[in-house]
Structure 1
Amino acid sequence: MLEILIVEDEKPIRELLAMSLTKAGYHCTEAADGLTAANFLENHTYDLALLDIMVPKVNGYELLEYIRPLGIPVIFLTAKNTVDDRVKGLLAGAEDYIVKPFAMAELLARMEVVLRRFHKVDSHLGYDDFEIDLDSRKVTGPEGEIALTPKEFDLFVLLVRNRGVALFRSRIFQIIWETDLDGDSRTLDLHIQRIRKKLKLGERLKTVYRIGYRLD
């Protein structure tokens, strides 16, 4: 499981990040200020750091200088949204610069890009007899390549990465369609039915009553 360091002084944002990333399969360590984060970094290795710039004690830029020699990629998450701010953050060595407020699905996608750039994430996933190539966005089974629509591919990848975990319909809809479910799950249910049929998943892709779906 990949280790993520979250450095954010606003508790609600920090806790929401940790909760969302944990559900996405990451292990998170939280720090409310730069000094605490530096202490964590002395004793632990992380795969990625998410830094707010305006944190107390040691700010994000100062902490980035400490992190860079460790080879840990950094993404800035900040309310500083001018072009000069973005340029400064990227030139300082951040791999990406995301302005608040942001969609969690966007953050997860950008995290994956950075992690793959640093060879932290394999571009291939496996599930049973299926091979998933994230670069070419192809799914191959015992009988060859299986044609999936873009949303079907994203949905299958999400299920594979969270195998054994019951995912709420609303959560799936937020990640894949980047919008709220608003009580209408027909679109999601239709995509699930198509995935189940195309990949012949049968009972392995379960409907969890009043929750959503789980890939066993």
Structure 2
Amino acid sequence: MANILIVEDEMAIADLIAMNLKLVGHATTQIDDGNEVMAAIQATTPDLIILDVMLPNKDGFELMKEIAPLGVPVIFLTAKDQLDDKIMGLRSGADDYIVKPFAIIELITRIETVLKRYQVHSSIFRLEQLEVRLDEHVVLLNDEQVDLTTKEFSLLTLLIANQNLALSREKLLSLVWGVEFMGETRTIDVHIQKLRKKLSLEDRIKTVYKVGYRLEVR
């Protein structure tokens, strides 16, 4: 889907991000030294950069002075949680600013939001006989259009954006319905069953025990 440069000197965090981005279909390159970033940008031409602030040799704020003129979207991912730091990061030209510790699903969602803003994503998702035209809100199964409700399409889009990742019922309820978990998630189960039946995804939308659901595309 997109080529993402991860600039992070904590290897465990960089590996975690890379693993999850690859699961949802992105390609990644990892850099752990501020001095190597500009060369890596030239070599890999990334669609988006995840940038730590505290890096060896050259920090993220300093790097943004060189990155900003290139027009590459940047998401700061840093332990620097002061308001002044966040303001500095956003004013430097970054598209988003996320503070550690972070939830991987939130990071992926924000990445998809930025990529969509720059239109760096595939607008068509295909899985066996299923075709989802994301920009057009059109779903085809065996070349025949399938009518989905607005909530069903939003739920499907969220599963596609986080393919191969387990999403909790609470998270799905919050992101699709815009409400916090209030002890009732049956509406998620009902909508998942409808998607499975309408789109013949019984073997693809997996139930994750005591968690929620995952769209399996591998």
- In the TM superposition, what is the alpha-carbon distance from 1:70 to its structure 2 partner? 1.7
Alignment of 1:7-22 (within 5 A): 7-22=7-22
Q: Residue type matched to 2:166 in 1?
A: I
Q: How many residues align?
A: 198
- Give the deviation of 1:125 after TM superposition: 2.9
What are the Cα deviations for residues 12-41 of structure 1, in whole angstroms up to 9, with x where unaligned? 111111111111111000001111222212
Return 187-196 or 111-120, whichever deviates more: 187-196
Any conservation in 2 of the 1:173–1:188 contact (CA below 8 Å)? no
- Residue identity matched to 2:3: E
Separation in 2, partners of 1:20, 1:172: 11
Contact 1:4-1:48 within 8 A present in 2 as well: yes
Q: Counterparts of 1:129 and 1:8 in 2: how far apart (Å)?
A: 37
Per-residue CA distance 1:47-72 (angstroms, 9 max, x = gap): 00000000111110121111122211
Aligned position for 2:114: 114
Tell me what 1:47 maps to. 47
Q: For residues 31 and 176 of structure 1, do their structure 2 counterparts lie closer, same or farther at Cα, with a shift above 3 Å needed?
A: farther
Match for residue 177 of structure 1 among 159, 168, 171 = 171
Match of 1:56, SS? coil
Distance 1:161 1:89, change over 3 A: closer
Match of 1:82 in 2: 82
Distance apart, 1:107 and its partner CA:
0.8
Q: Percent identity?
A: 38
> What is the aligned partner in structure 2 of residue 193 from structure 1?
193
Distance in 2, Cα, partners of 1:133 & 1:46: 23
Q: Is this contact kept in 2: 1:139–1:147, CA < 8 A?
A: no
Q: Which residue of the other structure, out of 142, 148, 151, is the alignment partner of 1:149?
A: 151
Paired position in structure 2 for 1:181: none
Looking at structure 1, the residues matched to 30 and 22 of structure 2 have their Cα atoms a distance apart, in angstroms, of: 12
1:118 maps to amino acid? Y
Question: 1:182 maps to what in 2?
Answer: none
Whether the 8 Å CA contact 1:105–1:175 is kept in 2: the answer is no
CA separation of 1:201/1:41 partners in 2, compared to 1, >3 Å: closer, same or farther? closer
- State how 1:2-41 maps to structure 2 within 5 Å: 2-41=2-41
* Structure 1 residue 156, shift from structure 2 partner: 5.5
Q: Give the alignment of 1:50-65 within 5 angstroms.
A: 50-65=50-65
TM-score by length of 1: 0.74
Could you say if the C-alpha distance between residues 36 and 215 of structure 1 is closer, same or farther in structure 2, counting changes exceeding 3 Å? closer
The Cα shift of 1:143 comes to: 4.8
CA contact (8 A) 1:75 1:94 kept: yes
Q: TM-score, normalised by structure 2?
A: 0.74
- Structure 1 residues 202 and 3 mapped into 2: Cα distance closer, same or farther (>3 Å)? same
RMSD after superposition: 3.4
- Mapped to 2, the partners of 1:160 and 1:52 lie a distance apart of 24
The match for 2:182 is: none
Supply the distance in 1 between the matched residues of 2:139 and 2:42 (Cα, whole angstroms).
Answer: 43
CA distance in 2, matches of 1:202, 1:17: 29
* Alpha-carbon offset, residue 177 of structure 1: 2.9
Do the aligned partners of 1:34 and 1:59 also contact (CA within 8 Å) in 2? yes
Alignment of structure 1 residues 117-132 onto 2, 5 Å: 117-122=117-122, 124-127=123-126, 128=129, 130-132=131-133
